[in-house]
Structures are given as C-alpha cells and as structure tokens.
Chains A and B, each alone.
Chain A
Amino acid sequence: MRLRPALSSALLALMLASLTVGAAQVDLRAVFRDPQAMLVLLESRLPRTLAVALTGAALSVAGVLIQALVRNRFVGPDTSGTAEGAALGLLAITILWPSSPLWLRMIAASLSAMVTTALFLAVIRRLPVREVMLVPIAGLVLSGVLGSVVTFVGWQTDLMQYVGTWLMSGEFSGVISGRYELLWIAALAAGLAWFSADRFAILGLGDQVATGLGLSTAAVMRLGLAVVSVVTAMVVTTVGMIPFVGLVVPNLVARVMGDNLRASLPVVGLAGAVLVLACDLLGRLVIRPYEIPAGVILGVLGAVLFLWLLHRRPAHG
C-alpha cells in the first residue's frame, strides 16, 4: 500500500522535469521576473505536461474497465476496436460535414467508438469460452479490419493526413493551451468510473455471480462501454492513440494490489500518468532538440512488457 505516495512523488518530480525540458531555455526560478519564460510555461509546457498526465491516467482507467467488461487481462482500448471506431466516427463527420463544431465531432467519435466496442463484445461472446488467449487475438484482428476500413476511406477522400494523426502513434508536441482541454473530459469520464468501481470489480467475477449479488450487469456494462469509448475518443481526437498503456498498466498494478478496484483505480491512474510522462520525457531527450512521439516509445516498451506478462507465471490464481 506504499505504492500511492511513491507514485505521487514520482509524478510530481516528472511533471517538474517536464516543465523544464524543451526547445526554449526556461529557468523555473526566474519565471516570475521573465514574462517570456512565463509565456512559454503557461502556453506550452504546462498544457503539454497536463495533457500527457491526463492521457496516461484516463487510458489506464479505461483499460481496467475494458478488461472487466470482457473479463480478460490481455485487452486494452487500443486492441478492442475502440480507437479505430473513434477514428471512423471522426472520418465520417469530417466527410459529411467538414465545418462541424468540435462538440459534434466528439460526440460522433464517442458514439462510433461505442458501436465498434459493442461489436467486439458481441464477437467475444461467441468465442469458445475457455480460451483466454483468443480474446486478445480477436481484438487485434478486429482492430486491424476496422483500421483497414479507415485507411481505405481515408485514401479515397484524401484524408490520410488526419487518419495518421489519429491512429499512428500519439504525439504531444502539438499541445498548446486551448488545444488539449478535451482531455479533461476524458479524465472526468475516468473519474466517474471510480464512483462505481465496486460494481466493475463484481462484474469481473462473471455474469452469474454478479447477477446473484444483485447487480444489474447490463447497466454496468453500458456505463463501462460509455466511459471507455469517451476516454478513447477524446484521446484519439486530441493527441492520437497511444498503444499498450491501457493494457499494461492495469496488469502491473493488479499484480501488486489485487483487484480491489476502489483502492486500486487511483493508483492505476497515477501509474498510467507516470508511465506516459516518463516516455514523453524520454522522447524529448533522446534526439534533442527534435522529438520522438511518446506513442512510438510506448509501442516498444509496451510490447516488451506485454510479452513478459504473457510468459510469466501468474502472480496469484
């Protein structure tokens, strides 16, 4: 249980580091005397730092929820067709109504993400029950199929540039104040999940047990679906999808804390923020003054962690 303070201090340290790293020299001590430094800090550094932390936290919580929904430890919002669904919705609204307001785009992306995630859940239900490993495989392939639809439509309509920013790796370099606020919605949605954390924990036990304990599984499923879709849609819209975060972080935290979601959800959020922030920082430092997107680094790191999770012995039952 000493995980939380440790992660909190790590997050604070990383945030401070994130404020000092970048193309322009900013001396944190001089910030109140130097209006130029203040500007850089408030318009670019701080928004970016917040955006990274919010993304990491929200995606990790979404990962916990989707894993509870499909009762499988090896899926995440990026391997369940959710991200591709969000991109499909964005693509559709961009084609049908190019000048549509932002809120409408968000709704389109969220709804379409819900539809594809529901499709994934429907596919999962028809799989042979005892095969734990088939679920993530089906998710990956479904994501691939949906992704090819997105690519196809993108090609046909000359919108590949947009598709690239949504689905190829997540980038935080474009974040300035006024261009990331959607992520607060994602964080809010993830926060909602915490209020019904216990219900998701019960849902993870299986349909019969959950119903027996007096839980309306359908309602909880709907809530989970909504939260996962909204979080993913916001992330896809603002920074592009970040791979593996929602898949790996819940697993790592569960290894230490078990499945008491009410206690572990905040820790999952913290850990996700720390991980993504660390990767973003690394990406900013490796080839200074240029950058490597955090998503690229997480693609490598996340894949390695995932392989390790696959081949380790289960921590407990």
Chain B
Amino acid sequence: MALLLALLAAVWMLQGLGPGNRGFILGLRATKLAALVTVAVAVGVSTILFQTVAANRVLTPSIMGFDALYVLLQTALVITLGGAGLVGLPPGAKFLAEIAVMSALAATLFGTLLLRGARDVPRMILTGVILGVLFRSVSGFLGRIMDPNEFAVVQAVSFASFNRVDATLLPLAMAVTALAVALAWRMSARLDVLALGRDPAVSLGLAHRGVTLSVLALVAVLVSVSTALVGPVAFFGLIVAGLAHGLMRTAAHAVLLPAAGLSAAILLVGGQWLFERQLGQAATLSVVVEFAGGLFFLYLLLKGRIR
C-alpha cells in the first residue's frame, strides 16, 4: 500500500510537467499533496479510533457531529473576538487554541454520551446526528446576526473542498497530525484491549474511562485538523475504515491505524488526480465521496451491521 501511495504521489507531482516554470508548479503540487495526505491520515486514523471507542463499525466522528462542533467553535470565536481580531492573531496560536478547546469540549460531550449510552447504540447515534444538526443550525443562526465581513471568515471552514487548502496552517497541521497519530500508535495495544468491550477491558486492568476520554480527545484533534484544512467531510472516514477492516482482516490497531491512513491517502490523492487532471472537475470529488459514502452507510444499515 505504501508503494502504491508513493507511485500515486510521483504521478501527481510529475504528470504533464512542461519545460517552463517547473519549480513553481512543483511547489504548488507539493503543498496540495501534503495537505491531501495530512487530511487523509487524520480522517482515516480518527475514524478507526472513534469506532473502537464507540464499539461500533458504522459510526464516524463526523456522523456524530464532531466537525459541526468545530465549525460552531469557529463561529463563536469570530463573534466573540471579531473577524479582525481573529485574523490578527498569529494563525498558529489560534489554531492550537482552537484544537485545545475542541478537545476539551468533545471529550466532555461525547464522553458523557458514549459512557452513558453504551447500551442503546442507535439512540446514541441519532443523538449524535441531531447534535450535529443543532451545531450547524446554531452556526447558521450566529452567521445571520454577525457582520457579513466576519461571516466570510467563517464560511471558509463550513464547506468541504479538497481544492481550497489553507496553506498557512499546513506545516502546523502536519506536525499536530503526526503527533496525534504517533500517540494513537503508542496506544495501539491499549486500544486492542479497549475494543474487547468495557467489562473484559476493565478486568484486564485497563483504565476504561481514562482511555476512552483520551482517545476522544485525540479524535477531536484530528477532526479539527481535517476540518480546518478542507472543511467537513461526513462519510469519507466510513469508506476508509471499512476498507481498512476489509483489507486487513485483523483487529490489531498497530496494523489497522496505518492501513486506514494509507488507504485514505490513496483514495484522496488518486481521486483528486482523476477529477482534477483527467475529468477537469476539481470541485466535485467531495460531492462524489459523500454520495458513495452515504450509499455505503445505508448498505451497512440494511445489512444490520449497526450493532
């Protein structure tokens, strides 16, 4: 898989390079490639982590409203600080602050939900979905009463697009993602135990509550990264996690996590290459991914795999 990704990356970088102005084009492409891979890894890993915590193969952080929470946080920040104040902050500091707040919020909110609702999975999902709707509605409401100039700042993060990548945040986002993934990797043995379910995990000596909350915080960090870079993507993680489980046929997180990250990167880079260079339809990849992911979700529902 790593080989395949490397091959795709090479194609992405070198395809159709003319003689003139190479350095510039390569620079542009490299930025985009780095962003796509970062987002892919963030989405893939966060989905696997979340599914382990939720003990459910059909859930993804975005279905449960994580990215909507991030957008809401952005909107609230713009309102309280004002658009100018927000732009005035150094982007790095602002981004890190956002991530910190987001992790705290998500761990609290979804921690309560998961630790309380473990017995009634469908109800928990529905709650998450509606929470997502609620966050989006509140963002929309706030968007209506704020200054239009400030609203433009918010709008940049509210729609998914693999084209409009915020390059200023990229180095930081890559670092944060790398760190979060490294932490997740370090936890993989504990995650394996966690996946057994609450009671076996506790009797094997796992601090269930603590691990759950820290994993949720990691998920929140990764979701913040991907949402900040390309906006909310609802079903992409579902496809990727499904792929990783299907290809690897193992429950070992040390294998699953990289597999999810890699397959996500392959899908995104390959898909973007196909749509942007071959079909000339750069804007539509996110829509197609959502469509396919939604259908896949319905299929999982119909097969009764929600348990």
Contacts and interface: CB of A to CB of B under 8 A. Distances in A.
Interface of A: 74, 123, 126-128, 131-134, 136-138, 140-142, 144-145, 148-149, 151-152, 155, 169, 243, 286-287, 292-293, 296-297, 299-300, 303-304, 306-307, 310-311
Contacts of B301: 127, 134, 137-138, 141
Contacts of A128: 304, 306
B78 to A, nearest CB: 17
Nearest to B135: A303
Nearest to B304: A128
Contact of B294 (A127, A131, A145, A306): A145
B134 A145 contact: no
Given A133-B123, A133-B125, A144-B294, 19 more contacts: A127-B302, A128-B306, A133-B122, A136-B126, A138-B298, A144-B290, A145-B294, A149-B291, A151-B287, A152-B287, A243-B137, A287-B144, A299-B140, A300-B134, A300-B137, A303-B131, A303-B134, A306-B130, A307-B131
Interface of B: 120, 122-123, 125-127, 129-131, 133-134, 136-138, 140-141, 144-145, 234, 283-284, 287-288, 290-291, 294-295, 297-298, 301-302, 304, 306
A307 B130 contact: yes
Contacts of B126: 74, 133, 136-137, 310
B297 A303 contact: no
B63 to A, nearest CB: 9
A276 to B, nearest CB: 15
A292 B138 CA distance: 12
Contacts of A169: 140
Nearest to B122: A133
A134 B122 contact: yes
B298 A303 contact: no
B141 A292 contact: yes
Q: Which of A123, A243, A303 has the most CB of B within 10 A?
A: A303
A287 B141 CA distance: 11
B287 A148 contact: yes
Contacts of A287: 144-145
A242 B123 CA distance: 24
Contact of B141 (A74, A140, A297): A297
A16 to B, nearest CB: 26
A138 B141 CA distance: 26
Nearest to B288: A152
B64 to A, nearest CB: 11
A243 B134 CA distance: 11
Contact of B130 (A127, A142, A144, A303): A303
